[in-house]
Amino acid sequence: MEAKEVHPHRVATACLGASGSNHEPQRVFQRLVATTNAEWPTILRVTLGGVIFPHAVPKTLGLFGGGGFTETMHWFTGQLRLPTVLAVLVIVIEQVGSLALVLGLLTRAAAAGVGLVMAGAIVTVHLRNGFFMNWSGNQTGEGFEFHLLALAMVAALILGGGGRASIDRILSRTA
């Protein structure tokens, strides 16, 4: 059975609960995976996931000069004073969410998770360094311009879903 084409503004309204009070699990899942048939969400989610993934693997695996999970946990819970549960969630969301975005699997949830991580990074680390990245090495740290771009991509993905080339599109046809 072919799924109906879903328009982004209708999906956003449905996800926000403005279309009624029916909360059956299958209906909620259908709303989660509903997506447009457009190509633009694929471009956004693969780009965002492709940028966040190498941003995450230093924290999880210690690649690209990172300290790995243990060192990252020490930094999050020590210097940033995040609760342990929140620190673990940040690491997992960043790693698993980036892969889910590339695949287009539960795109809205993955994008929302990455968005929360980006907003948290702005508040806890980057806001005090100003807007701009530290391109010339003159600042004490990195600003938040990158995070704003990521948040704009997140917002578009929450509204539009995973797009034509996504696992969500396949799931929306079978749900």
Residue type, 20: G
Residue 54 lies in a domain: yes
Give CA separation, 48 vs 3, 134, 171, in Å: 26, 21, 21
| 2 in any annotated domain | no
For the chain, how many structural domains are there in total? 1
User: Is 1 part of any domain?
Assistant: no
- Whether 153 is in a domain gets the answer yes
- Please report the pLDDT score of residue 2 as a whole number: 42
For residues 29 and 156, the answer to whether their CB atoms sit within 8 Å is no
Answer whether residue 3 is part of any domain: no
Q: CB–CB of 76/114 below 8 Å?
A: no
- Asked if residue 80 is part of any domain, the answer here is yes
CB atoms within 10 A of CB 149: 14
Output the tens digit of pLDDT for each of the chain's 175 residues. Answer: 344 455 544 544 444 444 445 568 888 899 999 998 899 999 999 999 999 999 999 999 988 888 999 999 999 999 999 999 999 999 999 999 999 999 999 999 999 999 999 999 999 988 888 888 877 777 788 888 999 999 999 999 999 999 999 999 999 887 5
Give the residue ranges of DSSP H helices in 104-166.
Answer: 107-121, 145-160
Distance CA 166, CA 5 (A): 14
Asked if the structure places residue 161 within a domain, the reply is: yes
Q: Please report which helix (H) or strand (E) contains residue 30, including its range.
A: helix 25-33
Alpha-carbon distance of 138 to 118, in angstroms, equals 23
- Is the pTM of the predicted complex or chain greater than 0.75? yes
Beta carbons of 33 and 175 less than 8 angstroms apart: yes
**Nearest-10 Cα torsion for 84, 89, 91, 97:** 180
The boundaries of the domain holding residue 14 are 8-174
Residue with tokens 């279309």: 19
Residue 59 counted as domain residue: yes
CA nearest 87: which of 66, 107, 70, 104?
Answer: 70
Q: What DSSP designation does 58 have?
A: H
| Whether the Cβ atoms of residue 55 and residue 114 lie closer than 8 Å to each other | no
